[in-house]
Every structure is written in structure tokens, then in C-alpha cells.
């Protein structure tokens, strides 16, 4: 992660207030998961987990990364918060694909992450085939598995 200076998170305006400024994960607690044989990993297509997906045996953060990103439309809840190193991808998510919906892009300073105990998981380094490779997704997880500290956000841009 030392090569990235900033990460970006796009969030719709309506969701911004609900999620304490876009820094609350969908779930709290340990960033770990155990996959089970025959588990459906894509609710839309009904696809089940295969050995090629990158899951490991037992409870692990690797499995949590995989579960977090594998079916993004389903929004499986984890203690992770999705970010991208690309402003334009964050803007896409903030505006729901430039549909006219207003939102915000939050600029996160990577140099502050370790100071605040925020762990990073670069999806392409964990998952063999990321579901949205153009995002180059980086999942951020607070040390306590809760909300990310607001102090890591150095700029908020309305889009």
C-alpha cells in the first residue's frame, strides 16, 4: 500500500448522512469469514464458490476480502469499506453511474491509515479474479472492526 498516496470513496448524498460521512461499514466486528461447501456467492446468477475463487480453509481475512467483493450488487455485509485509487471510479459510485443523483467523493490519505490502525486489503493482491478489476479496490478495515476514523478523510467533494 505504500505506493498509493490517496484513496477515494464515492457515496450517494442520501447515504452520506446515514453512514456517518461514508465511513461506516455494512457490518461490524471481525473481518473474517468461513465459506461453506456449495455456498452461493452470486445471488443474481446463483453461482457457487469454486476452488478458483481464492477462498482458503477455515475462518480468514482472505475469505472476508473475497466475500466483500465477489457479488458487489448483493452487498454482503463485512467490516470493510470499499475504496479505489481512482477519483473517477469513486465519482461513478457516488452518482450511481452519473445518473444525476448527487453524491460525494471522499479523499482518504493513505499516510494516515497506519496511524489510526486501519488495515488495508488490495483486492487484486488477494483475489485471483476481482469482480470489478477497473476499480483496483482497496478495502479498509478499522482496528476494532467498526467505523473508520473521520480523520483519515482529508477532502470531501460534492459531485
Domains identified in the chain and CATH numbers:
6-158 (3.90.210)
Q: Length of the chain, please?
A: 159
In order along its 159 residues, the chain shows pLDDT tens digits of: 448 999 999 998 877 766 666 688 888 999 999 988 777 777 777 778 776 788 888 999 999 999 888 866 666 788 999 999 999 999 999 998 878 889 999 999 999 999 999 999 999 999 888 989 999 999 999 999 999 999 999 999 999
Look at residues 159, 113, 158, 157 and name the one whose alpha carbon lies nearest to residue 139: 113
Distance of CA 124 to the CA centre of its chain: 12
Distance of CA 138 to the CA centre of its chain: 6
Task: Measure the CA–CA gap between 32 and 62, rounded to whole angstroms.
Answer: 7
- Integer angstrom CA distances of residue 5 from 39, 76, 117, 154: 37, 28, 17, 12
- pTM for the model stands at 0.89
Cβ atoms of 9 and 105 within 8 Å: the answer is yes
Q: C-alpha grid cell for residue 23?
A: 465511513
Amino acid at each position: 500500500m505504500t505506493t498509493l498516496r490517496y484513496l477515494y470513496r464515492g457515496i450517494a448524498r442520501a447515504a452520506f448522512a446515514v453512514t456517518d460521512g461514508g465511513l461506516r461499514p455494512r457490518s461490524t466486528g471481525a473481518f473474517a469469514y468461513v465459506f461453506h461447501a456449495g455456498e452461493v456467492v452470486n445471488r443474481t446468477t446463483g453461482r457457487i464458490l469454486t476452488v478458483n475463487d481464492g477462498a482458503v480453509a477455515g475462518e480468514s481475512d482472505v475469505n472476508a476480502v473475497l466475500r466483500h467483493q465477489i457479488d458487489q450488487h448483493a452487498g454482503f455485509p463485512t467490516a470493510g469499506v470499499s475504496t479505489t485509487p481512482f477519483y473517477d471510479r469513486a465519482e461513478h459510485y457516488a452518482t450511481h453511474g452519473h445518473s444525476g443523483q448527487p453524491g460525494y467523493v471522499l479523499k482518504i490519505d493513505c499516510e494516515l491509515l497506519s496511524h489510526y490502525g486501519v488495515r488495508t486489503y488490495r483486492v487484486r493482491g488477494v483475489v485471483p479474479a476481482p469482480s470489478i478489476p477497473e476499480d483496483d479496490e482497496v478495502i479498509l478495515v478499522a482496528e476494532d472492526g467498526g467505523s473508520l476514523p473521520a480523520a483519515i478523510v482529508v477532502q470531501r467533494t460534492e459531485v
